[in-house]
Amino acid sequence: MDILHLNDNNFNSEVIKSNEPVLVDFWAEWCAPCKRVVPVIKELSQEYKGKVKIAKLNVEEGANTATSFGIMSIPTLMLFKNGKIVKQIVGVVSKEELKSMIDSNI
């Protein structure tokens, strides 16, 4: 599965109403640490294909959504299951940390 690109218009239908867990990466173009997470997100999108949706939300394009979830620092990664946040990590994390977060919550 490709990485799903979210915005204020599709967040509810793609994340909150999703039947499968969704990992959302809140990021911005100007954020250097966010760019370090990109390769990890791409790898996870292949490894969890069919099990977990992997998505990105640019906080400038999805400002209302980012604000509603209290995003203060980026990157912020949130794992949603059944429309609820089950885990949140702020900052750059390793692939192993993200896999552990996903595996322990799906």
Q: Cite the active site residues.
A: 31, 34
Provide long-range contacts, Cβ within 8 A and 24+ apart, for 7-11.
Answer: 7/57, 7/58, 7/61, 7/62, 7/65, 8/61, 8/62, 8/63, 8/64, 8/65, 11/57, 11/62, 11/65
Q: Which residue, among 9, 12, 23, 8, has the nearest Cα to 65 in the 3D structure?
A: 8
Report d(CA 106, CA 35) in Å as an integer: 26
